[in-house]
Amino acid sequence: MLGASAGIRPGSSTYAPAVLIGLVLGSTGIERDGTAVDLGGPLPRRLVAALLAAEGRPVSEDALAEAVWGDRQPASPGVSLQAYVSRLRRGLGRDVLLRAGDGYRLLVDDTDAARFTADVRRGRELLDDLRPGEALRAFEAGLGRWRGEAFADLCETYAGAALAELRAVAVEERLAARLAGGDAPGVVAELEAATDPGSGGRLERRAAGRIRPGPAAAVVAVRGWFPAVRPRRRPGTAVGAGHPLGGGGRHDAEPGPVPVAGDRAGVLPQARPGPGGQPRGA
């Protein structure tokens, strides 16, 4: 993420960089020097979420209006967007929320999604290096960043789907790290609890037949084992061949390279519908 913010911190007489962190792994938010910025209600949060999904790239007013209001747009969406932008700038700064062509762009220093992605990438590198204890800590740090659904204020997005898939991979790799560290009984118990309760000791028998001593063998065993025990996705959430972790929607191969969250530009969502199919907060 790019960042272009500087300001005087409270109680300081000198210039110091203000660190802005975008939050999308749950309800949308922005932290300024560790303190939450008041973004307002659901509509401005959707606006911020759509801008964060673009990762610093400009987003047109039409795309932002679609993200904020969906099919229930006001008579003058451009004017309404300008009003929200004006209010947000009072908390974020004009050098953070910028006019760009026929739209806007939001510059932050980092996001919880980018940090989560880095944690998972680091954990997989450590696991491949047979350092399961450090890998486990990296996966747990990344998973601990989640507070709810990714881009919870918006309808389904490509970036949100990619993050959800990466979260599933992180859960699996965390268990692989535990297994490589010698916690086979705990891993089997967790897998039994996460799958069909009527399966009895099937997973335990499979583990006994597949897991061999040594961390390298454990990692290989778990990575080949998970596709059979991964819980079924909810309808409508399957990821197809275009997904960075996909492969025609199949999940019977070792996870591919860890993606950068939201690396498909310009794919913005509509407002997440509320009861009765109407956009929330409309």
Contact between 249 and 241 under an 8 Å Cβ cutoff? The reply is yes
- The stretches in the chain having pLDDT less than 50 are 1-14, 199-200, 202-213, 227-272, 275, 277, 279-282
Vertex 60 angle, CA 57 and 65, to 5°: 125
Q: Are 50 and 159 in contact (CB under 8 A)?
A: no
Domains of the chain: 20-110+268-277 (1.10.10.10), 112-229 (1.25.40)
In degrees and rounded to multiples of 5, residue 87 shows phi and psi of: -70, -40
Q: CA 89 to CA 83: how far, in whole Å?
A: 10
Per-residue pLDDT tens for 38-71?
999 999 999 999 999 999 999 999 999 999 999 8
Per-residue model confidence (pLDDT) at position 209: 45
DSSP 246: -
Distances (CA, A) of 45 to 94, 115, 143, 167, 193: 17, 21, 23, 23, 36
| 3-state secondary structure (DSSP) of residue 250 | coil
- The Cα–Cα gap between 84 and 282 comes to 14
Helix (H) or strand (E) holding 117: helix 112-128
Q: What is the pTM of this model?
A: 0.69
Which two three-digit tokens encode residue 225?
A: 């084992």
Close Cβ partners of 193 (under 8 Å, ≥ 6 residues apart): none
Convert the pLDDT of each residue in 132-155 to its tens digit: 999 999 999 999 999 999 999 998
pLDDT at 109: 95
CB contact at 8 A, 222 and 212: no
CB 32 within 8 A of CB 20: yes
Spatial separation of the C-alpha atoms in residues 169 and 253, rounded to whole Å: 12
